[in-house]
Amino acid sequence: MIRTERLSKKYGNFTALRELDLKIPAGEIYGFLGPNGAGKTTTIRMLMGLLKPTSGRVFLCGYDLEKNPISAKSLTGFIPDRPYIYEKLTAREFLHFIGGVYGMSEKEVEKMAPARLEFFDLKNWADELVESFSHGMKQRLVFAAALLHDPKAIIVDEPMVGMDPKGARLLKDAFVHLAHTEGKTIFMSTHTLEVAQEVCDRIGIVNQGKLIAEGTMEELRDFSKNRDADLEEIFLKLTGGEEIRELMKSLQG
């Protein structure tokens, strides 16, 4: 459902992303991890057609993003790390606005909106102004909007930022349901390693613009040669953070 072929991006002499090959099937939650500046944001922007690759190709739901951008994006939902919401609208009005952006009819929005609001525990707030929502509620509304047109693939950037424990639990359960029950593909970029370890079927780790490891937790443990490691230990070892942690411990000790 989400596939890239030798996807690369250069800014002058600087290579932000180098020949990224991804193949993420339907029904899988794929975690995309990396330190700051590793190439995660660049990748997401190219996946959504917001940034043109220097070379390589992106395929979303079977469509070449460059050749068929409308078809590819119509089957994809996107949740950015800093979504913008029109706060003078009610939640219901906001969903109608987003539905119009996706080319949905009023009847289609009226059919889908109540279920999406209920799914994200916002049913009782449907006619309240968004400006009265907490940060977590706004995040859940953005998720509801991104799923309004029933996309086959969902691309999420830092979904848990500012979420309270209840909201985070709801979103994690939602990811699992959407992927494993509804068969949607979820590509999730996050710094929250415990979330990635808990919900992702496979994880890719990118560093300095290159995918350096990919697989299930068991496969990543094998790759790092530590059968008892959690994702944080694996991540720090592969990205060089382990040396920094040891240095900090020695300075503190």
User: Distance between CA atoms of 133 and 85, rounded to whole angstroms?
Assistant: 11
- Per-residue pLDDT band at 251 (split at 50, 70, 90): very low
pLDDT of residue 25: 97
pLDDT of residue 242: 55
Structure tokens at 160: 């848990």
pLDDT of residue 24: 98
pLDDT of residue 253: 52
Average pLDDT over the chain, rounded to an integer: 91
- Per-residue pLDDT band at 252 (split at 50, 70, 90): low
Structure tokens at 157: 């950037």
Mean pLDDT of 228-245: 81
pLDDT of residue 247: 44
pLDDT of residue 165: 85
Give the other-Cβ count within 10 Å of 157's Cβ: 22
Question: Could you give the C-alpha distances from 190 to 181, 206, 227, 240, in angstroms and in order?
Answer: 22, 12, 23, 18
Lowest mean pLDDT among 3-12, 26-35, 121-130, 164-173: 164-173
Mean pLDDT of 225-238: 91
| Topology annotation, domain 1-75+152-167+177-216 | Rossmann fold (3.40.50)
pLDDT of residue 245: 52
In the chain, domain spans? 1-75+152-167+177-216, 83-150
Structure tokens at 165: 């424990």
How do residues 162-220 score in pLDDT, each as one tens digit? 788 888 888 899 999 999 999 999 999 998 898 999 999 999 999 999 999 999 999 99
Backbone angles phi, psi at 62, to 5 degrees: 90, -5
pLDDT of residue 84: 81
How do residues 83-119 score in pLDDT, each as one tens digit? 788 999 999 999 999 999 999 999 999 999 999 999 9
Backbone angles phi, psi at 83, to 5 degrees: -70, 150
pLDDT of residue 248: 44
What is the value of pTM for the model shown? 0.90
